[in-house]
Amino acid sequence: MGGSAVSAHGINSMFWNTTQDNTRRQIDIVALGIVTASILLFVAVGSAIGPSVVRSLSGGGPGPNAFLLNAFLLNIAIIIFGWSRYRELCAEIAARRQAEREALRMASTDAMTGFLNRRSFDAGVAALLAQTAAGNRSLALVMIDLDNFKQVNDYNGHAVGDLLLRECARRMTAVFPANALIGRIGGDEFAAALLFDPRRPGTMERTATALVTAIAQPLQVGDVFIDTTASVGLARSDQLEADHRDAAALLDMADVAMYHAKRQGRNAYAWFEPHMADEMRFRSELEQGIREGIGRGEFVPFYEQQIDLMTGELTGFEMLARWDSPQFGLIAPDIFIPVAEEIGAIGDLSQSVIAQALEDARTWDSKLTLAVNISPVQLRDPWFAQKLLHLLVDANFPPQRLEIEITESCLHDNLAQVSAIVTSLKNQGVCVSLDDFGTGYSSIGQLRHIPFDRIKIDRSFVSRLIEDKDSAAIVRAIAVLGEGLDMPVTAEGIETQDVLEHLRQFAGITGQGYLYGRPRRAHELSDWLESGKPDADEDPLARRA
């Protein structure tokens, strides 16, 4: 109905404008006719009274006839009035036509960037597609999505976000040729369409590379540098099926390629390939399954032991989420966590699993702690600390037994907000550890400014410390750093006895990993601890967790 209403409004407006133009045109003709008739009458009357006026002024005879003189003066007044009104009407019509052109421009473009809006862009793509049917040129469709734009808006305000959009639009204009169509599809998504020689695809690849490079340049706003990148997808019209040669199909292909570039790490471009469509269908099924699975309780906690390396004593468990999907089976977090983060479902998913874990941990020995990983996306929520404390109250779980693990990338995203959340949690007794330490984001200075309780050495260093001298040096440096800061250290990824013996040279280190058994469900923990011998078939996902 919305489309019909818009169409009806457009038709009514067109009819009304046409009627007004016809009326004004008729008035123009009448006014011009009156002026013309007055000029003719002026000439006729003037020629009749002119000689008598001249004789009267020279004193050689009587003055002109009073009636004819009045008629002559009236003609002059009519000519002046008529001509003035005619000029006013012309100016009014010119102003109206200018206003209509401006209204048409505003209706077809995006006010923020000046680019075409979605409807106008689609129409332009359709016109360009028609040109490719008869020639030897192909149409390239470029989809551009700004990475992490919502984060820029949330942290810096919408005014900075708008400034970034306009600056990115300026950079796109500088990269694309003058004959390219550029549109803002919505939010932080843009699209461009341009004809190119299909025998020279390198032309488009150079354009895409220049585009990615241009957008990746930092934008300075006052004393702040705003970093953003773009994921770019490209599709070409000669990839379209014969019965689907339309703008929508080409946009969909470019959109699929753009999401492929985003999944490959962002700040890059990708050409559409047929297999990407299958990946998108699988991705769509994953997204739907995650949304439905949260409500059905399909996401469940598994637990991995944490051991004091010197004494061998069990100190607690780290909770690792698993998706027990009826459609896909048991899925590891490295598959579903990134998808849940991108679709905005990670908060509900995490709270659901944490609530289950708190209920499970209530039955453990009071000396055992529960460690829980927190997504960087959750730490962008200013109410995260309050939500977590609410879960603790509902489960009647002591906050001193809970340890929240956050990754180094969180510090890079928004140090001030992370610091505020960490402080709020610690004030309530919750312990906070820095996970994956050493992967390149944080610094020793940040460890001093944020009151962490523990450092966790990334498993990539631990698993290679025997054969890799650099990894061994990094592990040693972190262990010494923890001792110097009076901060406990946990080593992840202990899988062999040699690695364990190497780590035991450092005091006060706890560890976890495959050597101590695979992660288990809550109801399996009692058998696991009693036997002390892990069953190799229990969790095939453990090595990838």
- Tens-place pLDDT, residues 236-288: 998 887 666 778 889 889 998 998 898 888 899 999 998 887 877 888 899 99
Class of domain 303-320+344-540: alpha beta
Instruction: Find, among 503, 506, 508, the residue nearest to 492 by Cα.
Output: 503
Please determine, for residue 3, whether its predicted confidence score (pLDDT) is greater than 50.
Answer: no
The pLDDT of residue 25: 58
* Claim: this prediction has a pTM higher than 0.85: no
Please determine, for residue 169, whether its predicted confidence score (pLDDT) is greater than 90.
Answer: yes
User: How far apart, in whole angstroms, are the C-alpha atoms of residue 104 and residue 123?
Assistant: 14
Interior CA angle at 452 toward 449 and 453, to 5°? 145
3-state secondary structure 239-299: HCCHHHCCHHHHHHHHHHHHHHHHHCCCCEEEECCHHHHHHHHHHHHHHHHHHHHHHHCCE
pLDDT in tens, 471-480: 899 999 999 9
- Supply the CATH classification number for the domain 118-272: 3.30.70.270
Please determine, for residue 360, whether its predicted confidence score (pLDDT) is greater than 50.
Answer: yes
Over residues 356-380, the mean pLDDT reads 92
Please determine, for residue 340, whether its predicted confidence score (pLDDT) is greater than 60.
Answer: yes
User: How far apart, in whole angstroms, are the C-alpha atoms of residue 350 and residue 381?
Assistant: 13
Percent of the chain beyond pLDDT 70?
A: 77
Please determine, for residue 173, whether its predicted confidence score (pLDDT) is greater than 70.
Answer: yes
Three-state SS for 357? helix
CB 414 within 8 A of CB 155: yes
Strand blocks (E) in 387-522? 402-407, 431-437, 454-457, 489-491, 509-511
The pLDDT of residue 540: 40
CB 250 within 8 A of CB 122: no
Pairing of strands 299-308, 509-511: antiparallel
Over residues 452-474, the mean pLDDT reads 90
Instruction: Please report, as a single letter, which amino acid is at residue 539.
Output: D
The string of DSSP letters for 364-406 reads S-TT-EEEEE--TTGGG-TTHHHHHHHHHHHHT--GGGEEEEE
CB 35 within 8 A of CB 82: yes
User: How far apart, in whole angstroms, are the C-alpha atoms of residue 226 and residue 156?
Assistant: 9
Task: Name the average pLDDT for the chain.
Answer: 82
The pLDDT of residue 401: 96
User: How far apart, in whole angstroms, are the C-alpha atoms of residue 477 and residue 470?
Assistant: 11
The mean-pLDDT minimum among 160-174, 390-404, 429-443 falls in 429-443
User: How far apart, in whole angstroms, are the C-alpha atoms of residue 440 and residue 437?
Assistant: 8
Q: pLDDT-based confidence at 232, cuts 50/70/90?
A: very high
Run of H or E residues at 69: helix 66-108
pLDDT in tens, 85-101: 767 777 777 777 776 66
CB 83 within 8 A of CB 35: yes
Please determine, for residue 14, whether its predicted confidence score (pLDDT) is greater than 60.
Answer: no
User: How far apart, in whole angstroms, are the C-alpha atoms of residue 169 and residue 188?
Assistant: 10
